[in-house]
């Protein structure tokens, strides 16, 4: 693949065979496999093979190409369709997959969001990716990793698109007041140690539209910018940014990352309602504690710690008041 990618002129089957130390028949098979993956390769019996176009897919060959990451560098598993990349990553994690294992799908049939919601995952337009991590940390540090992942998404999106999403606590990505992406962190732990955790990112990249029920709630990078973006570049940027922040978190702790999270958040300083199942808390989102919990000042002046739940703006001001 590399050799075809770099070549201005067609390369003969014979040359490819020598270069790859394969038989001519094996070269032909490999070319056919690449074509089946969506690479457009022109082959003429006299001149040889020429790469015309690369498919708009999150193929490992493309993502790993030029990826500046060490820890989050695969093994990378790519699927056309999966139920949920988090489900497969958890299965791989439970079978001992190493830290940095990445699972990517072009579409998910049962993509999952936080709080048991569904994650709309139409084919070929979004990022649906899960990473297996094995930090030597106690389970109570999970919320901090969760916030860290969101900072990495903001940085990656900025780097690739110039757009600047905000973060809604804990890790929803928001653009123009609508949801751009979200992160589902799941872990398997013993009482004092995380065995493995899976960080799953869903990012609306090139979605041209959303179904009626989501139209007013969701947006994509392409809708905001008026042009499409490379999902490969976005995935590479997220893996790189996340690796940098994750290593900083492991070695230097959370304070600096929390400051970065606070610079990007759209939640603090606002009146909010937190829904936790049947329970509802209303108040002012004042701060985030060093462990990642949201601190809400309620009507009686007390400050409550919130570690889970769905935040919505409001309660709406009473216009007559």
Residues that bind ligand BTN (CB under 6 A): 84-86, 108, 111-114, 117, 119, 128-130, 172, 182-184, 200-202
Residues 78 and 52 sit within 8 Å (Cβ to Cβ): no
CA-wise closest residue to 311 among 291, 290, 296, 292: 296
Closest approach of Cβ 237 to ligand BTN, in Å? 17
Helix axes of 231-252 and 142-161: crossing angle, nearest 10 degrees = 140
Question: Largest Cα–Cα distance in the chain?
Answer: 83
User: Whose Cβ is closer to ligand BTN: residue 122's or residue 202's?
Assistant: 202
Rounded to a whole number of angstroms, the CA Rg of the chain reads 22
User: Whose Cβ is closer to ligand BTN: residue 119's or residue 261's?
Assistant: 119
Can you tell me the distance from the alpha carbon of 222 to that of 227, in angstroms, rounded to the nearest whole number? Answer: 5
Residues 77 and 58 sit within 8 Å (Cβ to Cβ): no
User: Whose Cβ is closer to ligand BTN: residue 14's or residue 188's?
Assistant: 188
Closest approach of Cβ 216 to ligand BTN, in Å? 17
User: Whose Cβ is closer to ligand BTN: residue 51's or residue 125's?
Assistant: 125
Cα 41–Cα 43–Cα 49 angle in degrees, nearest 5: 75
Closest approach of Cβ 250 to ligand BTN, in Å? 23
26 Cβ contact partners less than 8 Å away, ≥ 6 residues apart: 17, 20
Closest approach of Cβ 202 to ligand BTN, in Å? 3
User: Whose Cβ is closer to ligand BTN: residue 69's or residue 184's?
Assistant: 184
Closest approach of Cβ 117 to ligand BTN, in Å? 5
């Amino acid at each position: 693949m590399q050799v075809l990618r770099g070549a201005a002129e067609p390369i003969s089957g014979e040359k490819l065979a020598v270069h790859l130390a394969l038989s001519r028949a094996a070269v032909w098979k490999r070319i056919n496999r690449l074509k089946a993956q969506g690479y457009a390769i022109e082959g003429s019996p006299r001149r040889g093979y020429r790469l015309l176009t690369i498919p708009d897919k999150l193929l490992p060959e493309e993502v790993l190409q030029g990826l500046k990451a060490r820890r989050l560098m695969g093994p990378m598993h790519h699927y056309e369709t999966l139920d949920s990349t988090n489900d497969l990553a958890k299965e791989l994690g439970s079978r001992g997959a190493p830290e940095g294992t990445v699972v990517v799908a072009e579409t998910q049939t049962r993509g999952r969001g936080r709080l048991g919601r569904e994650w709309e995952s139409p084919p070929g337009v979004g990022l649906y990716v899960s990473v297996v991590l094995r930090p030597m940390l106690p389970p109570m540090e999970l919320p901090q990793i969760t916030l860290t992942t969101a900072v990495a998404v903001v940085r990656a999106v900025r780097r690739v698109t110039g757009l600047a999403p905000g973060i809604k606590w804990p890790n929803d990505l928001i653009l123009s007041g609508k949801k751009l992406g979200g992160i589902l962190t799941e872990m398997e732990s013993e009482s004092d140690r995380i065995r493995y955790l899976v960080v799953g990112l869903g990012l609306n990249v090139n979605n041209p539209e959303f179904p009626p029920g989501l139209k007013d709630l969701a947006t994509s990078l392409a809708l905001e910018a008026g042009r499409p973006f490379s999902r490969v570049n976005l995935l590479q940027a997220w893996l790189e940014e996340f690796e940098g922040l994750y290593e900083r978190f492991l070695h230097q702790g959370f304070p600096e990352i929390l400051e970065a999270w606070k610079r990007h958040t759209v939640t603090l300083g606002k009146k909010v309602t937190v829904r936790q199942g049947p329970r509802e808390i209303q108040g002012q989102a004042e701060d985030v504690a060093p462990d990642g919990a949201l601190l809400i000042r309620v009507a009686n002046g007390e400050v409550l710690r919130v570690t889970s739940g769905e935040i919505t703006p409001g309660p709406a001001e009473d216009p007559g008041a």
